[in-house]
Amino acid sequence: MKLVFTCQFCGRRPGPETQAALEAQMQDVFFGRYVDAGPDRWLVWHGRGPLGPMRYSCGDHRGELTAYLRHHYGSVAPMPWKMGPYPRPFVGGGTAKRAQLGRYGGSSGFAV
């Protein structure tokens, strides 16, 4: 199985390094956060819930993605209005695997 990412606006597909960065972000459990991906300057919107699905744009259409999200979700929450840069946050405790472990009594990864 291969994941296929395309720009929401032009249908462009990412290069190999950006593809790997986008695949790494698939397990991130973020809500309402922009994240930069790879050397091709792709922008990922981790919406979830009332802020819509994950959305992807190539480097040429980053502005269109933020404008789209601000138009559609800007009155729902303040997150679409965040200004860049959008680095990927530390994900030590923010992955889907960590969330699953926490639900089933596994180690949370935090020292007490």
Beta strands in 7-54 (DSSP E): 33-37, 42-46
Q: What is the pLDDT of residue 1?
A: 84
**pLDDT tens digits for 55-97?**
999 999 999 999 999 999 999 999 999 998 999 877 654 566 6
DSSP element (H, E) containing 50? none
Full strand arrangement of the beta sheet holding 55-57:
33-37, 42-46, 55-57
pLDDT at 111 over 50: no
3-state class (DSSP) for residue 52: coil
What are the structural domain ranges in the chain? 16-103
Residues 6+ apart with CB under 8 A from 32: 46, 47, 48, 51, 77, 79, 80
Q: How confident is the model at residue 26 (pLDDT cuts 50, 70, 90)?
A: confident
Nearest Cα neighbor of 33 from 89, 76, 71, 107 is: 89
